[in-house]
Chain A
C-alpha cells in the first residue's frame, strides 16, 4: 500500500538509498511469506526459538518471547530515535516564520510535520515493547533518555535549514536504511516509512543549498558557512568510533544493527564528497582525500570529546531545547485535560442515550 505513494525517483528500485529501502521492504514481505513452523515446540526453550527466528532472518513480533536485554535495548534505541524526531523540530521550526519565500516556507512546514509523524510512528513502535508513550515522554522531559546530539546545534542562517536537510537528514538516512532490515518487525516497518519520507527531506535540503550556492556571492558564502558548521556534527551523529561503542556488538548479534558506526560514517563521507562537488562547495576537511587502496575517502574524524560533552548536556543548545519541550508540555496540560474531559462527557451522554 505504502510503496505507491511516491513518484519513483530517478534512482528507483535497485539504485541509491531509496532502492535499498525498497529492497528491504521486499525482503520483509518475503520473510513473512517464507513458510516456517509456528511457535516454539513444547519441549523447546524460548531462547533457542528466539535465536532460531533471528538466524532465519525472520522478524520478532510484539507477542513473541524475547530476551529482556533485547527488549530493553530496543526500547532505549527506538525511544531515543523518537525523541530525536520531536526535539529535531525545533532547530528547523526556528526558521518557519523567516523562510525566504512562500514555497520554501510551505515545504519547511510539511517537513516539520513529517518529523512529528516520524516521532509518533516510533513511539508507537516502542509501545509494542510494553512501555507507554507517556512514560517515554516523562523519561525525555526528566533528561533520563537522550536524543540525537545534532539537535543541540543552533540554526543561525537560512542556509542551515538546507544543511540540516542535506547533511543531518542524509546522515540519518544512511543510519536508518539498514534499520529497515532490523530483526524487530515494528521497528523495521516504521523505518521503511520514515526513510521514504526522509529522502524527501534530504533532497529538499540539497536543493536549498544548490540554489544558494549558485546564487549571489553572499548566498554562496552563507551556504559554505552552513556546511562548515554542520559537517563535523553530522559525522558525529554516527556515534563513537567502533572501539568505544558500548552497545554495538550485542546489537549486531541480535541483528538490530547491521553495520558498525565507523562503516556507516565512511559510507556517508563517500556519498557526500561527490554531492558537495556538484554544489560547488568545499567540505571543511583538509585531510579529505581519495584512498585508492581502500577505495574510500580518508577523512578527519570528528571531535569525539565534543560529542561526549554535547551528549552529556553541555552543547550549545541543550538547555534551550529541553526548556522549550518542557514548557510546551507544561503549558499544554490544560488543553490535554480539556480534550479528556470532553471525551468523557460525550461518552457519558452516549451511555445515557443508550440507557434511555
Chain B
C-alpha cells in the first residue's frame, strides 16, 4: 500500500508507536505522510528523534510517551524542546527500561511488568498514576509496575520486507521495532525495498528476520524512507540535512521556509528537494 493509505487508517486521538531510536531508522516517510494528513491529537510512543520533532512542530502530538528525544549527533531535539518550553505537549516521561518493559507487557497481553527502574526518581513524581507491586515470594521486594504500552497503530521502517509483511533489518541494531508491531492493533511497515520472500536468505542470517507478517497490517515500499535518519547499511544519517533541519527549527521564519521547501509536497517532491539540497552542498 502507499504511505497515504497507511496513514489514512489512523484517526485523531489514537495512540501511535513509532519505531527506530533517536535519529536512527525512523519511519520518516510515514511521519511525513502523517504531517500531510488531517490527523491530530495523537498520543505518540517513541524512543524520540526527529519523528517526535516534526510531529510536535506540526501540533499533532497531544501526549508524548518517551524517555528522551535526541538527534544523536545533535544532542537535543529542537522542536521537542520548543514544544515543551511552550507547554504545548503533555509528557509521560519514562525511563528507557520502563519503555521496553511497557511495550513487552503489551506484546504479552499483560497489564504490567515489574521493574526496579523508577524507584526513588522523579519518574514516579511526574507520573502520579504509576503504581508499585510487591513480590509474593520470600524476598518481598516492592518494584514499579510498568503498565502495558498498548498501541492503536505502530509505524516502523526496515531495510527489506516481502509483500506479506515479513520484515528484515540489515543494520547493527533491531531497536524495538518488533515490539512496536506486536504491541499494536495495526502495524504499518515501510521498507527500502519490497523483495521476494526467497531473497531474505541471501541478505542475512535468519536472525535478521525481525518482524513477522502476523503482526503487520500493511507494507509500504519507501526507498529513502528513513531519510534523514540512518538506515544502515542502505545509507547513513544525512548529517548535512539534519544540521539544516536543526538550524531551521531554531527560527520561525527559517522553519516556514524549510517547511515550504521540503514538507509542502508529496514524498516524491521531498526526495527531489533533498537531492537539490545535496547538490548545493557538493
Report whether chain A binds chain B: no
Question: Which residue numbers of B lie inside 8 Å of A, CB to CB?
Answer: none
Question: Which residue numbers of A lie inside 8 Å of B, CB to CB?
Answer: none
